[in-house]
Amino acid sequence: MRPSSTAPIEGGNNWKTLKTLLPYLLQYKWRVALALSLLVLAKLANVAVPLVLKDIVDQMAAKDLALALPVTLILGYGALRLSSAVLGEMRDAVFAKVTQGAIRKIALQVFEHLHRLSLRFHLERQTGGMSRDIDRGTKGISFLLNFTLFNILPTLVEIGLVAAILLQKYHWTFAAVTFATIALYIGFTLGVTEWRMHFRRDMNDLDSKANTRAIDSLINYETVKYFGNERWEAERYDHSLSKWESAAVKNQVSLSFLNAGQASIIAVGVTLLVGMAANGVVKGTMTLGDLVLVNAFLLQLYGPLNFLGFVYREIKNSLADMEKMFGLMARNAEIKDSDNAKTVNLDNASVEFSNVDFAYDSNRPILHGISFQIPAGKTVAVVGSSGAGKSTLSRLLYRFYDVNQGAIRINGHDVRELAQSNLRAQIGIVPQDTVLFNDTIYYNIAYGKPSASREEVIEAAKSAHIYDFIMQLPDGFDTTVGERGLKLSGGEKQRVAIARTVLKNPPILIFDEATSALDSQTEKAIQAELKAISANRTTLVVAHRLSTISDADEILVMQHGQIVERGTHRQLLAAAGVYAQMWALQLHDEGEPQAI
């Protein structure tokens, strides 16, 4: 659900968006000042060109033509046109660092902010649509910065200069017609553009949905093939595209209406002013040079004015493109460090869950009054049926979520009082569902400790019993594992996850069904290694196969979010309760292709 904080942006608060960009401009204030100075000089040169052209025409029309004067004016005319063009290019070159620097900083901030958002947000997100929103938003920033500062502003300055010259040199009706045409043009442009903006927003939404469906289908390629649903996926994708097509057609039709209206207004204004100038020449109140001047000003004025309409439309489009990206930025992080968050050494850590209640959703409570301790250097295992809340314990310990009631403490420190980076640096996890980066095996192992030497990475691979497998591959450690690690089997991915956790070498370990994807022989080999690396470390083991946790210092049995039994393996068997029944079932099914 979209947070309320994004509502103003979604509602089209364009000034708020522009205000958001201002700090990025101020970081390069000297470049901005220099670019604006070049802009003013370029516009002054541009406005001076028709004035020189008038003098050239008047001199050429004179009966006592003196050759030297027109040549000087012609050279001046050429110099002014060259200056206008060169100064404009210099302005763009100076401002390039501002634009690209702002895009880089904003893109980085969005990226960092997305990593600060909670696991809840990322479980609910649609990656394809979100990536498209960010891509359009960053491109919109480039357009907005360039065209707001260097097209709208200079065009308005030029309109003011031209209107002032017309008012000073000619009859007031010239300025009146000019201002009336401009006012009508701008009013029509703003009104129609506002009317058609919802077509653009619809296009963006439908484009994001279509992209989300396409990426979701491609990510789940194997599932699509398993059920032969290629045609079904194509039809779903085409259904989204058909809605986008309809919105795109409406967008283009409304754009054509806008362009036609703008052209009509300009044509009427130009015709009136040229007619008035021509009439003045016939009556002798204006020279031929004045007619050329008025015509040149009109062409020079209405060209940028026509472009102003395009720029305004595109800026509105850019603002619409940026709405969702800034909506992501406005999304509050659910899990935050407190203002006085601690950074402590958690070696020889003891972990305590104290009367913990938790629910992912208020309508579906998960944990009820969970209390247990993991003494420093000891191993506590948690078993139970699927959905009992076992894996939730590790997510809470990592502080992916905060508890609703109670507390989780490490060495007496509530995890909510610790800096998240400090807390997570002390904990290593081997998850049940291992997802790898689309990079090399070496990169994925080294991810546990990016500063590690190659020798340390190799030793970690050996500890996870994956080194021999890697060396059999043609590219060895440089083998690319594919999207989400799909080129590796489940067991191979699990061993990579174990290797990078070994490399991290944390004081607290979490094994969340860490060997569930392994065959029995490999499981036994890795279990011995896991036992070795967990020695003298505080370890929480979430297990499905009871044989893997029989030597744990304490075993907790969970049902429906509560601890119903606790004790050692022998004590729980002797109690002949839930654990003993689970043990008996697994012994009975031993040798079956599927474990309980």
**CATH code assigned at 384:** 3.40.50.300
Sign of CA dihedral 337, 341, 345, 349: negative
The confidence score (pLDDT) of residue 589 equals: 61
Name the strand (E) or helix (H) holding 405: strand 405-410
Average pLDDT for residues 532-538, to the nearest whole number?
83
CA distances from 428 to 350, 372, 411, 439 (A): 15, 20, 17, 21
Three-class SS state of 380: strand
Lowest mean pLDDT: which of 107-116, 325-334, 436-445, 556-565? 325-334
| Closest residue by Cα to residue 337 from 270, 255, 402 | 402
Token readout for 221 is 């390629």
Which amino acid is it at 463?
Answer: S
The answer to whether residue 303 is domain-embedded is: yes
On whether the CB atoms of residues 42 and 369 are closer than 8 A, the answer is: no
Are residues 283 and 218 part of one domain? Answer: yes
Left, alpha or beta for 109 (phi > 0: left; psi -120 to 50: alpha)?
A: alpha
Crossing angle of the two packed helices 29-61 and 14-26, in degrees rounded to 10: 100
Token readout for 432 is 């049940």
Are residues 266 and 384 part of one domain? Answer: no
Are residues 317 and 382 part of one domain? Answer: no
Lowest mean pLDDT: which of 6-15, 61-70, 207-216, 549-558? 6-15
Residue 326 CA, distance from chain mean position: 9
The answer to whether residue 370 is domain-embedded is: no
On whether the CB atoms of residues 521 and 438 are closer than 8 A, the answer is: no
The answer to whether residue 341 is domain-embedded is: no
Residue-wise pLDDT for 97-141, tens only, equals 887 888 888 878 888 777 777 667 666 665 556 676 777 777 777
On whether the CB atoms of residues 380 and 539 are closer than 8 A, the answer is: yes
Segment of 90-94, 271-275, 288-292, 443-447 carrying the highest mean pLDDT: 443-447
The answer to whether residue 569 is domain-embedded is: yes
Token readout for 137 is 């938003």
Q: Does residue 305 have a pLDDT over 80?
A: no
**CATH number of the domain to which 217 belongs:** 1.20.1560.10
Are residues 189 and 299 part of one domain? Answer: yes
Q: CA 580 to CA 562: how far, in whole Å?
A: 18
143 is in which domain, residue-wise? 4-330
Question: Where does 444-595 show beta strands of DSSP type E?
Answer: 508-512, 538-542, 554-559, 562-567
Residue 539 burial (CB < 10 Å; 0-12/13-18/19+)? buried
Are residues 439 and 298 part of one domain? Answer: no
pLDDT band with cut points at 50, 70 and 90 for residue 182: confident
Length of the chain: 596
Give the number of domains in the chain: 2
- In our burial notation (b when 16+ CB lie closer than 10 A, e otherwise), range 504-516 reads bebbbbbbbbbbb
Average pLDDT for residues 19-28, to the nearest whole number?
74
The answer to whether residue 363 is domain-embedded is: no
| Closest residue by Cα to residue 304 from 16, 23, 46 | 46
- Partners of 361 in beta bridges: 364
pLDDT band with cut points at 50, 70 and 90 for residue 566: very high
Token readout for 50 is 């028709």
The confidence score (pLDDT) of residue 308 equals: 64
Phi, psi of 123 (to 5 degrees): -75, -25
Are residues 221 and 100 part of one domain? Answer: yes
Are residues 26 and 166 part of one domain? Answer: yes
Q: CA 72 to CA 413: how far, in whole Å?
A: 84
Q: List the 427-430 sheet strands across, edge first.
A: 427-430, 508-512, 538-542, 379-384, 554-559, 562-567
The answer to whether residue 205 is domain-embedded is: yes
The confidence score (pLDDT) of residue 357 equals: 93
pLDDT band with cut points at 50, 70 and 90 for residue 593: very low
Are residues 383 and 293 part of one domain? Answer: no
The answer to whether residue 21 is domain-embedded is: yes
On whether the CB atoms of residues 78 and 12 are closer than 8 A, the answer is: no
Q: CA 206 to CA 208: how far, in whole Å?
A: 5
On whether the CB atoms of residues 382 and 393 are closer than 8 A, the answer is: yes
On whether the CB atoms of residues 393 and 542 are closer than 8 A, the answer is: yes
CA distances from 26 to 19, 51, 94, 96 (A): 11, 37, 14, 14
CA distances from 141 to 57, 218, 333, 427 (A): 44, 30, 24, 39
More confident residue, 313 or 260: 260
CB count, 10 Å around CB of 485?
22
Are residues 557 and 473 part of one domain? Answer: yes
Name the strand (E) or helix (H) holding 383: strand 379-384
| Closest residue by Cα to residue 50 from 253, 290, 256, 215 | 290
Are residues 189 and 68 part of one domain? Answer: yes
Q: CA 50 to CA 291: how far, in whole Å?
A: 11
On whether the CB atoms of residues 386 and 392 are closer than 8 A, the answer is: no
CB count, 10 Å around CB of 20?
17
CB count, 10 Å around CB of 566?
17
Are residues 129 and 273 part of one domain? Answer: yes
Q: Which residues contact 2 (CB under 8 A, 6 or more apart)?
A: 10, 327
CA distances from 382 to 286, 540, 544 (A): 97, 8, 9
Helices (H), 482-519: 490-504
Residue-wise pLDDT for 382-404, tens only, equals 998 877 888 889 889 988 889 99
Q: Does residue 374 have a pLDDT over 90?
A: yes
Token readout for 352 is 């305590």
Are residues 382 and 282 part of one domain? Answer: no
Phi, psi of 494 (to 5 degrees): -65, -40
On average, the pLDDT of the chain sits at 80
- In our burial notation (b when 16+ CB lie closer than 10 A, e otherwise), range 302-313 reads bebbbebbbbbb
The confidence score (pLDDT) of residue 540 equals: 93
Residue-wise pLDDT for 226-265, tens only, equals 777 888 888 888 888 888 888 888 888 888 888 888 888 8
On whether the CB atoms of residues 492 and 434 are closer than 8 A, the answer is: no
Average pLDDT for residues 55-71, to the nearest whole number?
63
Three-class SS state of 36: helix
CA distances from 461 to 48, 454, 458, 503, 529 (A): 74, 11, 5, 9, 11
Last residue of a domain, one of 330, 364, 399: 330
The answer to whether residue 401 is domain-embedded is: no
